[in-house]
Every structure is written in structure tokens, then in C-alpha cells.
Chain A
């Protein structure tokens, strides 16, 4: 199975900061990479699909990029409601999730 490594595991940032979360695959996943946001006690929510496509209803401060094995989720201006854990998910082959990045407010 493809291993997905997210970094950092915990990120502390201030409101208004530009935040970058990373996800590295153990092999080429051909941009079949989704990003999910999970707030405490809730189900995950799809933010970005296939690397850089913003899901309907998701604020434009979220964006995704990447190719090959390396992918990034960027929040252009962090808001208090963005506190959550973020998971990457590859569906190029047998689907696998990353372990998550916990985003906290500084």
C-alpha cells in the first residue's frame, strides 16, 4: 500500500497567518489526492479533491497544489474556525490516509 506522510504533525499559527500543510506519498499518486478537515467530534469534510479542486462551499482561502509524490494544502489567511485536524487521502491505488496534521491557534 502507498504510505502517506503528513508534516508537521502539529502546527501552531496565529489568525491571519499563511499556513502550509504537507503530504508526501511513498510513490507517485498522479494527483489523486484529497484533503479533508475534521473538527473535534465531527465527521471529516472534503476541502480539496484531486490536488487542486476546491469543493463546493469551501472558502477560497483554502487551496491545494502538488504533483508526483509531494502535495500541499495552503490556508492563505488562518481563521479561528480553521482549528481542526487535516488529513490527506490518496485514491490512485488502494486508498490510504495520512496520519493528520493538527492545526492549533497560537
Chain B
């Protein structure tokens, strides 16, 4: 069955960087774009953008153009979300997703 398995929780300090992984299985990785969604604690869902898994071309929402990087390791059917220069407001759960399947979420806490 289709599965998206994300990396574990992260606790970071402001200014640090992190990289979240999302490993896909049960389908051909390059057949579907990978989307990223942010959910701050107790809040709704915010669409961050997607990466074309055939070309590697990322597309970012306006709020995520500065410090956020989508990337791929196609040979490993894995997508990555890197966040640079972390800020307190980056504290959230980050989901990778196809339209019809979501990762379990990766919890990120940014605190000094």
C-alpha cells in the first residue's frame, strides 16, 4: 500500500537548520508531485508548495520562498524539506503528501 514515512521529531534553537525526510513506498515515486503542508500548534493547514518529482523543480508559496528548500533523492524515493535560519514561528508539524496519502507528520520545535 502507499506509504509516506517521515523522519522523527526535532528540537532546534533559533538560527539553526534542519532537514526533514519523507520516504515513499508502494508506488512509482516519480509519478506524483510531493507536496508540503505546515500545521502550527492548534492551527489549520497551510500549503507550502510542491516539488516535481520528475524534474526536481520546486514551487513555493510566498510565505516559504526565503528559508525553505524542497529537494529529492529519487533513487531512494525520498523527498526532503530543509528549513534554514529557524525561527520560533517555524514550530509546527510538517506533512509531506500526495493528494490521497499523507506522511505521519514531523514535529519541529524551535526554542532557545
Name A residues whose Cβ lies closer than 8 Å to a Cβ of B: 34, 36, 38, 42-46, 49, 55, 87, 89, 91, 94-100
Contacts and interface: CB of A to CB of B under 8 A. Distances in A.
Contacts of A99: 44
B99 interface: yes
Interface string B92-109: 000101011111110000
Contacts, number: 39
Nearest to B50: A95
- Interface size range of chain B in the complex: 10 to 19
B100 A44 contact: no
Given A55-B100, A94-B61, A43 B95 contact: yes
A46 B47 contact: no
B44 A46 contact: no
Interface of B: 35, 37, 44-47, 61, 95, 97, 99-105
Contacts of A97: 37, 44-47
Contacts of A98: 44
